[in-house]
Amino acid sequence: MVQLSVNNETFEVECAPETPLLWALREHLGLTGTRFGCGAGMCGACTVHIDGEAAYACQLSVEAAAGHRITTIEGLSENADHPLQRAWVAEQVPQCGYCQSGQIMRAASLLARNPAPNREDIRDEMSANLCRCGTYPRILRAIERAVKEA
């Protein structure tokens, strides 16, 4: 059993210690907003926060995550009203939507560290996450909107 603190709740997860956090979240806790993309830490679809910092859930074992504060897209805000979530809707960012929870979590980590990033800061941070649909201009606009409206 591994004890995890996820979205301000404590859970006992019965799995091997080396199980990727991604699978514990999805399969054991039913938090399916965190997506499997590549499994190699290269696409960002599985981005969550570990103690407030963006991290690839596919690359972190449950054993390594134990004792840390984990936040998934489901825990970013109670009513899906985080400024980024509102901006994502206003800018009509998602096309297929598959990568969007990871994109939002990466952007939220950036804004927590830097509440007024410039375009270069945003592009640098968001380069860690891929969007196969190419909605990068809308992602950029949504982050800039969230900065203005926050």
Answer whether 28's CB lies under 8 Å from 36's CB: no
Whether the pLDDT of residue 113 is over 90: the answer is yes
Q: How far apart are the C-alpha atoms of 122 and 139, rounded to whole Å?
A: 10
Q: What is the pLDDT of residue 54?
A: 98
% pLDDT > 90, the chain: 98
CB neighbours of residue 79 within 10 Å: 6
Whether the pLDDT of residue 32 is over 90: the answer is yes
Compute the average pLDDT of residues 97-102: 95
2-75 CATH: 3.10.20.30
Side-by-side strand order, sheet with 9-13 = 9-13, 2-6, 69-71, 47-50, 53-56
Whether the pLDDT of residue 106 is over 90: the answer is yes
Domains of the chain by residue range: 2-75, 83-149
pLDDT digits (tens, 9 = 90+) for 37-61: 999 999 999 999 999 999 999 999 9
Q: pTM for the complete prediction?
A: 0.96
Whether the pLDDT of residue 92 is over 90: the answer is yes
Q: What is the pLDDT of residue 150?
A: 80
Assigned fold of 83-149: DNA polymerase; domain 1 (1.10.150)
Report which of 139, 102, 97 is spatially closest to residue 122, judged by C-alpha positions: 139
